[in-house]
Chains A and B, each alone.
Chain A
Amino acid sequence: MLFRQLPGAVWATDRDLRLTYIVGRLANDAAPAAKPGMTVYDALGALEGKQPVLEAHLAALAGESRSFEHHFRNRWYRLFVEPMKDDGGNVIGCIGAGFDITGQHETQERLERSEHRLAQAQCVAHIGSFEWDVDANVMTWSDELERIYGLAPGDFDGTHEAFIKHVHPDDIQQTKGAIFDALRQGGAFSHEYRVIRQDGCVRTLRSRGDVFRSEDGKARMVGCSWDVTELRDAMNNLQRARSLLEAALEATADGLLVVDGKDGVTAYNEKFLQLWGIPCEVAREHDGERMRSYILEKLEHAEEFLAVSHELHLHPERETSEIERLKDGRVFERDSRPQRLGEQIVGRVWSVRDITEREMLLRRAMFLADATRLLGTLEIKSALTGVAHLAVPFIGDACAVDYFGDGAPGRLAFVSLETVGSFSPGLDEAVMAGNSLIYSAGLHSCLAVPLITKEGIAGAITFVAAPMRKYGKPDLEVAEALARRAALAVENARLFREAREAVKARDEFLTIAAHEIRGPLTSIHMAVQGLQSGKAPESATEKMLEIIEREDRRLARFVDDLVNLGKIQSGQLHLELEEVNLGNIVREAAIGFADEQARSGSTLSITTEGRPVGQWDKYGLSQVTTNLLSNAIKFGGGKPIVVTVIERDGRTTLEVQDHGIGIAPETLGRLFKPFERGVSIRHYGGLGLGLFIAQTIVENLGGTIRVRSKLGEGSTFTVELPNTRV
């Protein structure tokens, strides 16, 4: 019964192959079911592939044992057919046995399929495997691994030394070290190294594996290797590209920031952090919002920045270019454009450039251009006042302009903001001496520049800085540039004024000259015509002749003045020194004016002290005295005229004092200049040469002439002469 359940069969035959015994499930599976008495031929019947079974039986009859696998009816069997011998060793039949090995066979097949698939996978993935029995030094490589090394399958020599032979000489030490470490430490390992293939080509391989140890301590290394040459090249290229990008990012003068669309920072450069004062540790977090907080707190108009950001969020395709002003005074130019990956926008690139200096230069140029335009007028006072307004707050929170155009220093303009309070800068002596100056006055930083013209210091401009601001060289440069322009304008205005005054003086001179000639000519004309026509009464004849003589002298004086002016201007005024008594000259001149003086209503007193005798030019001093007396009578208002001549210590002083209309203070300064007059041309005649000629003569004699006067109270002219020339 037990044999009947046998997954196979056991049988015996005689020499005719007639079954003498058969038992097992396999016997039942034959068709018809095999039974003793049937021949093997019958039992096999129409079974497919029966031939090897028959041959095995026939071989057994010939004395040969056979064992083989056979496939019946979808199952695998291992069949044993052996000769059955009698005691004499003669073959009397066959003994057979068949075992169902279908399960074992399928396992084998699956293993083979698996190995095949692994090989295929290795082939496709270019991954080779290896196994190294360390103690036996037997190394087994998969076909793919041999292919990776450029070997034909089976060409690898199968030892550690054979493997090392393929490793690039430069990497041998390192590779041996890695293997040593892996064996010593056990467990997983990974290593990258170069090999030289059979064809000479250098490839980079990566190996990854495990070290196993058996109970008796024997080590086995199992792992995979694959070619990472392309990957390594790609990695190297990527690294190169990245380093190039990083170098480019850092090399640019602009601050750069690349952000994704979700507030993440993709990349930035040091310059960007520097410009916005963002700490490196903050930047390393790549947190867009945190970095933005640093930016916003520095901006003068953070709300505008946020509005632009919002707009760009809605329109990521836009490019922008803006100017940002920072609270600390810097100015940035900020550009942005979308970052695209193919057609897709994946972020935005921001570039920031510090244009403070450029902006400052531009603003300075514009400021100076505006100032130049303002100064392009001959109304210099209003122009300088305009400049003071223009300079606040560009150069400072206050600007003072001191202008000495009228001779005396005076503050022409002072413009200031509330930040300066009641502070008003003074005028430093160093500036008056022509030096630019930066100085501190209390809490204020001040900057003063002189207006230097050819005529000297025409004034100064002083700036007061905004609180906390300290003036430096750049401020000094722009202030000096402004001062140069202002000084030039002052100079131009002066030249124009002088030219205009010269033209006016010439016109006035001609007018007055005509008047001065026509007056005496009229008197002479009418007197002569009156006498000639006999219309003048006889009693008046003498008077008429006196008039003619007097007017003749007047004309002669006029001509003398013109001649003297010509001599002075051409440098041909020659004085002939001789011993002269100034008291006598004064008295003679007074006699000449007696008539005029009498008619003017003024009295004339002459006092002499000492001996006023010196080495002088008689004619010249006579001119001086005549001019001073003439003025005193003309402007004396009919009041007493006092003349004193005092000789003391080798010097002689002539003083002519009247109590007439006096001279306005603003006129005193120019009284001795040619064609100048102390009175309006509308009211008084005279060429305006008398005092100029008097001064020239006196100074040529080594003396001085000066005047004291008060409007409405009279004037005193004082001539001081050395008695002898030193």
Chain B
Amino acid sequence: VNKEHNNHSTVLVVDDDTDIREVMKILLEADGYHVDVAVDCQEAAERIRSGARPDLIILDLMTPRMDGEQFLRKVHRGSLATIPVIIMSGHGAAEEKARELGAAHCLTKPVEFHDLLKVVKQYTQ
């Protein structure tokens, strides 16, 4: 396994698309990250409320039960707000939404693998 980084940062990937979750998990783990996945923001919120503290959250805006906006407004607050969030969305207005919600970065789907790695690296160093 080619691990360029060995900082063992934990990345939480939140996306209701199973394949995206899986392919990201495979690729980020291959790059040395510890990857946690959640099927939607509700699950992500539960993880965090149970004490999970990822170094970076990669978030799809559109997920069942709780969407990314609700997550950022209700969960990503206080001390948790220091955790950088990268929004990854297919929505046309995602970048604007990301700025409005105070996300660290926005990646518009379809995402280039290299771009993903670059941004994750930037926010986990």
Binding site for B on A (CB under 8 A): 510-511, 514-527, 529-530, 533-537, 540, 543-544, 547, 550-551, 596, 599, 679-685
Contact = CB atoms under 8 A, between A and B. Distances in A.
Contact of A599 (B2, B18, B67, B89): B18
B100 to A, nearest CB: 15
B101 interface: no
Given A515-B90, A518-B90, A536-B27, A529 B113 contact: yes
A518 B62 CA distance: 13
A518 B113 contact: no
A522 B26 contact: no
A382 to B, nearest CB: 30
A683 B89 CA distance: 12
A529 B115 CA distance: 11
Contacts of A523: 17, 19-20, 23
Contact of A534 (B2, B91, B111): B2
Contacts of A537: 1, 26, 30
B123 to A, nearest CB: 18
B119 to A, nearest CB: 13
B31 interface: yes
18 contacts: A510-B92, A515-B89, A515-B109, A517-B90, A518-B108, A518-B109, A521-B110, A522-B20, A522-B88, A522-B111, A526-B20, A530-B23, A533-B113, A535-B2, A537-B26, A537-B30, A596-B18, A682-B67
B109 A529 contact: no
Contacts of B31: 535
Nearest to B60: A519
B118 interface: no
Nearest to A525: B110
Given A547-B19, A596-B18, A685-B62, A525 B67 contact: no
Contacts of A550: 19
B83 interface: no
B112 interface: yes
A510 B89 CA distance: 14
Contacts of B62: 515, 681-685
Contacts of A681: 62
B42 to A, nearest CB: 10
Contacts of B1: 537
Given A526-B27, A599-B18, A679-B64, 11 more contacts: A511-B92, A521-B109, A522-B110, A523-B19, A526-B116, A529-B112, A530-B30, A535-B30, A536-B27, A537-B30, A683-B67
Contacts, number: 101
B91 A511 contact: yes
B63 interface: yes
A518 B110 contact: yes
A78 to B, nearest CB: 155
- Chain A residues touching B, majority SS: helix
Contacts of A544: 23, 26
A526 B116 CA distance: 9
Shortest Cβ-Cβ A-B pairs, 9 listed = A518-B90, A529-B113, A518-B109, A521-B110, A515-B90, A523-B19, A522-B110, A522-B109, A682-B67
Contacts of B109: 515, 518-519, 521-522
B49 interface: no
Contacts of B23: 523, 526-527, 530, 544, 547
A532 B40 CA distance: 29
B113 A525 contact: yes
Contacts of A551: 19
Contact of B90 (A514, A529, A684): A514
A544 B2 CA distance: 17
A632 to B, nearest CB: 14
Contacts of B91: 511, 514-515
Interface in B20-77: 20, 22-24, 26-27, 30-31, 40, 61-67, 69
Contacts of A521: 109-110
Given A519-B17, A526-B23, A526-B113, A683 B64 contact: yes
Interface string B84-125: 000011111000000000000000111111101000000000
Contacts of B27: 526, 530, 535-536
A390 B6 CA distance: 76
Contacts of A536: 26-27, 30
B64 A684 contact: yes
A518 B92 CA distance: 11
A597 to B, nearest CB: 11
Nearest to A521: B110
A521 B88 CA distance: 13
Contacts of B90: 514-519, 522
Contacts of A511: 91-92
A678 B88 CA distance: 25
Contacts of A683: 40, 62-67
A682 B93 CA distance: 13
The residue among A522, A524, A530, A596 with the most chain B CB atoms within 10 A of its own CB is: A522
A537 B67 CA distance: 32
Contacts of A530: 23, 26-27, 30, 113
B76 to A, nearest CB: 17
